[in-house]
Structure 1
Amino acid sequence: MLYICASHMYTIKKSLGQHFLTDENICRKIVESLPVIEGQQVLEVGPGAGAITKYLMQLPGIQFKAIELDREKVQYLEKTYPDIQGKLINESILDATLPFEGQFHLIGNFPYNISTQIMFKVLEWRSHVDVIVGMFQKEVAQRIAAPHGNKEYGILSVLLQAFYKIEYLFEVHENCFNPPPKVKSGVIRLTRLEQPADIASERKFFVLVKTAFGQRRKQLRNPLKTMFDKELMLQDPIFTKRAEELSVADFAALSHKMI
């Protein structure tokens, strides 16, 4: 289904999860949450009609690019903001290769239907992406920022918190968008840790976390029984806990004890 926004001469495609931010104060607040210095490389994900793009392009001395799947929006942005010519990548962030050499910041009002997948992409790129400021569906933002012992705490919380400091910055009301989504939104900032969690290997850590939360209501000795020595599981009381009770450091330590 297409939503027509005649005053702006573009269509809003529900199939792409498009909800365009229209509150200028919120747009500025999001951009101000991204720490930048001169020469900073910045990638915007899903600029849409340019709500925060116009403020990003005003930042002095940054090297800016934006990635947008919707060809119509690319054409609209090029027509509306001539300075953006040559800085737009017309593809999905999920299929993209690294847009810059070296370190870059990532920012966006992320399409809610793929926001979790975008964060897994960030994990793939984490050696290059040092800061992320993103707007998510409120529940997803809360999940990413949740501490252990919280019912929102899960796979995404642990995997991201192993490598990034997470800050839940502020909420955004649904009336700040066109069309208004049926959910509230949350903006978070992720800053890469100088000392990430001490994991045995990425593969072991990811498998451990995903398996543990696969049966999150059960004691860990049940889902993890094939991954650890039986004697260790009998002796170590950590295996009587549930996944949400373990800190990121607990998971990291366990990754070194896997078979």
Structure 2
Amino acid sequence: MSFKTKKSLGQHFLTDKMVLFQILDTIDADENTRVIEIGPGTGALTKWLAEKFTDLHAIELDQRAVEVLKKELPDITIHEEDVLKVNWEELVDPDKKNIVVGNLPYYITSPILFDLMENRKLFTEAILMMQKEVAERLVAEASSKEYGILSVQTQLFSTPEILFDVHPHSFNPPPKVMSSVIKLHFDKPDLPVSDDMIKKVVRTAFNQRRKKLSNSLKPVLGDDLPEGFNFDDRAEHWAPNIYAKLAEHLEQSDSLS
């Protein structure tokens, strides 16, 4: 059937078979794995996933695409809903490895990433296509211009790895930017501090990234600057583990007060 993509849903369907097979080769799954695809569209990647994996679930919001998937791939499980409203605990199989795969709409990439990281204990890995610029921020090192909130939180909660870049011509319609496929390995040990405290510290620090941390962190520190940290630095100079260490200190202090 003829299928007109919706700009409002950020639809850019991957059509390049070479790239599709590259993505397939990156998925570390076996018969005891549930693969969950975000935004399959009309199933360019989905049909190959269905051939390779027996337990395949797809999350798709576009009713037109859902109809195509039901007709072409009747054996897969389709969840017709907004990925940002999904209850991941209901979607995964607790007795299996669970892997997420997806070509993410550019306009909601960050919310999807934060949601996956919040639920990281449910997954072993995620293989995601996104704007190259965003992928580079996920792996950026401290003191680089790309380094920011996404970098710190991603690196504390996972091990991110850029696998390869994808040219706009691999999509229909072609986006105006390069894309990258990135793998998030959810292999990090539990941190001795809550996610909420880490987010609070990191987001407060980068909210005024040009100021010294002694100033930008005032909303969480007040005038009490704990020892062992260089608060003359700016936000982009602290490695992720330093943010985790400060967050842990603050949480412990809160529990004692």
Instruction: Give me the TM-score of the superposition, normalised by structure 1.
Output: 0.90
Q: Which of 149, 164, 167 is 1:155 aligned to? A: 149
For 2:71, give the aligned amino acid. K
1:1-259 equivalences under 5 Å are: 8-60=1-53, 62-84=54-76, 87-98=77-88, 99-102=91-94, 103-196=97-190, 198-228=191-221, 230=223, 232=225, 236=228, 238-258=230-250
The alignment partner of 1:11 has SS state of coil
Distance 2:167 2:31 in 1: 32
Deviations, residues 11-30 of structure 1 (Å, cap 9, x unaligned): 21111000011100001111
Contact map agreement 2:161 2:183 (CA 8 A) in 1: yes
Deviations, residues 145-185 of structure 1 (Å, cap 9, x unaligned): 21222111111111121111110111000011111001110
Deviations, residues 235-259 of structure 1 (Å, cap 9, x unaligned): 6551111111111111111112225
Instruction: Give me the TM-score of the superposition, normalised by structure 2.
Output: 0.91
Stretch moving more, 157-166 or 16-25: 157-166
Contact map agreement 1:228 1:257 (CA 8 A) in 2: no
Please provide the CA RMSD for this pair.
1.6
Classify 1:172/1:31 alpha carbon distance in 2 versus 1 (closer, same or farther; 3 Å).
same
Contact map agreement 2:204 2:219 (CA 8 A) in 1: no
The alignment partner of 1:232 has SS state of coil
Q: Could you tell me how far 1:81 is from its partner in structure 2?
A: 2.3
Contact map agreement 1:106 1:131 (CA 8 A) in 2: yes
Query: Unaligned stretches of 5+ in structure 1?
Result: 1-7
Deviations, residues 197-219 of structure 1 (Å, cap 9, x unaligned): x3422221110000001111111
Contact map agreement 1:199 1:205 (CA 8 A) in 2: no
For 1:200, give the aligned amino acid. V
For 1:49, give the aligned amino acid. T
Q: Could you tell me how far 1:226 is from its partner in structure 2?
A: 3.5
Report the identity percentage: 40
Distance 1:116 1:22 in 2: 24
Distance 2:192 2:208 in 1: 22
Deviations, residues 71-91 of structure 1 (Å, cap 9, x unaligned): 10000111222333xx00000
Classify 1:210/1:199 alpha carbon distance in 2 versus 1 (closer, same or farther; 3 Å).
farther
Distance 1:241 1:104 in 2: 40
The alignment partner of 1:166 has SS state of strand
Q: Could you tell me how far 1:144 is from its partner in structure 2?
A: 1.2
Say how many residue pairs are matched. Answer: 247
More helix by share: 2
